[in-house]
Amino acid sequence: MSSLQFSAVITRHGLLSVCLVLACLPMVDAKGKSFVGTYVNIHHLCEAGDSIAVREQALRNHLDRVKASGIDVVMPYATTTSGSALYPSEILPNHVYSDWDPLRLIVKEASVRGLRVYPVPCVLACGRDKPDGILAKHPEWALCSPGGRPIGHISPGHPDARAWVVSVMKEIVTRYRPDGLLLDYMRFNNRPMRLDPHSVALLEKRHRLKYSKLSPDQIQEFKEAELTRLMSRISREVRRIQPGIPVAIYSWGPHVVEGHRVAQDWRTWASKGYIDMVNISGYCYRKNYGDRYLKVFEKRLRGAVEINKALGSPVEITFCLGIRTSHGHITRAQEVADYLKVAKRVEVNGVSMFTWSYLQPFLPMIEERRYLQEFRRSRPW
């Protein structure tokens, strides 16, 4: 174990001790503060055609509203799924704004208001059906369709691609010194796929077999190992720049840690101290699960909590409450309370809303009925 990992373990153990002594401090993250956050799509909050002054005032107004709502962590997307930067990156080739740095404003103004900021890069997403962003220049870094055509997803198995991804994470931390970093799309693509040509050649040489003759287990083992290698490098390098920065990931749940297409073995990442928080998808709705949707939701969270409790140095388990997603959406503010009650019962450590703009219609009732305050109340265990 490195000195960096040892420090992270000691920090988390220290926090656990604090929680046992001060039971009135529920829902804590790796820095000992409550975690009630919201993902932020910057382009939903201001008009690109407006002047910079108007855009910045719009963001200030939203941050005032975030503070008043009881949310204490702002989670702005730093990159898009098409591989564009939402800040003036010197590494990503495409920028959403050519004349503005909204992340710098958010970090500055959030600090004034006592809010924390966890930028959210879409780590490996870079286009969809076809390469975009950096993959337009380096299609050899891309995962491929079963027929061998590059798609819009960076392969963590390619060493040059890994180095480039790490450089983006380092750039974000160097520029903004944020309170934390939450990695979205830190996974393989979930569709049937073929690895990048470099990884294919490496596996063929390693096993002395054609790629088509490799077993699913051989490919899966490679995917999990290479994604874990990338996670290790990101964790090490960003903490070299900013020691102690909490690193979090978004995950679909406990089922992806072994044998899943996305190869996101967050159990190993947590056990090795690479991450401090796992934000579990709460995207369970009547639309996709019928009347049993809350039971499915509870099972997912409980599974994640059980994996975490079995670790030598547990991390924080939070969940993402999907106000509106591609999987479904809520229709009443009461549904927010329903999810929060389940999460509290299962001993989940915090919540993030997806997203701030989608939360707006429900916010008055959420505030009136104090759902977030109730969620923060002392743990019952």
Residue 266 lies in a domain: yes
Q: In this structure, are strands 277-281 and 94-95 parallel, antiparallel, or unpaired?
A: unpaired
Return the pLDDT at 313: 86
Beta strand 142-144 with 150-154: parallel, antiparallel or unpaired? Answer: antiparallel
Torsions phi, psi of 354, nearest 5?
A: -120, 110
Give the whole-angstrom CA distance, residue 26 versus residue 255.
26
CATH for 96: 3.20.20.80
- Cα–Cα distance, 367 to 374 (Å, whole number): 11
Q: Is residue 30 part of a domain?
A: yes
Contact 75, 37 (CB under 8 A): yes
Contact status, residue 194 vs residue 144, Cβ threshold 8 Å: yes
Asked whether the beta carbons of 124 and 135 are under 8 A apart, the reply is no
307 is written with which tokens? 């994996």
**Which stretches in the chain have pLDDT values below 70?**
1-33, 378-381
Q: Where are the alpha helices (DSSP H) in the chain?
A: 3-21, 42-45, 52-69, 102-112, 134-137, 159-176, 197-207, 216-241, 266-271, 286-289, 293-309, 333-345, 356-359, 363-368, 371-376
Q: Does residue 144 sit in helix, strand or coil?
A: strand
Question: Is residue 268 domain-resident?
Answer: yes
Q: How far is Cα 304 from Cα 278, in angstroms, rounded to an integer?
A: 9
Q: Which residues contact 216 (CB under 8 A, 6 or more apart)?
A: none
Query: In this predicted structure, what is the pLDDT of residue 29?
Result: 57
Bridge partners, residue 316, by sequence:
277
Q: Is residue 381 part of a domain?
A: no
Kindly report the average pLDDT of the chain as a whole number.
Answer: 92
Q: How many domains does the chain have?
A: 1
Q: What local confidence, expressed as pLDDT, does residue 380 receive? A: 42
List of residues 6+ apart from 93 with CB closer than 8 A: 83, 133, 134, 136, 137
pLDDT for position 312: 86
Model pLDDT, residue 276 = 98
How far apart CA 102 and CA 88 sit, in angstroms, is: 9
Beta bridge partners of 154: 142
Q: Give the residue numbers spanning the domain of 331.
A: 3-376
Give the chain's radius of gyration (CA, Å): 20
- Phi/psi for 189 (5° steps) reads -65, 145
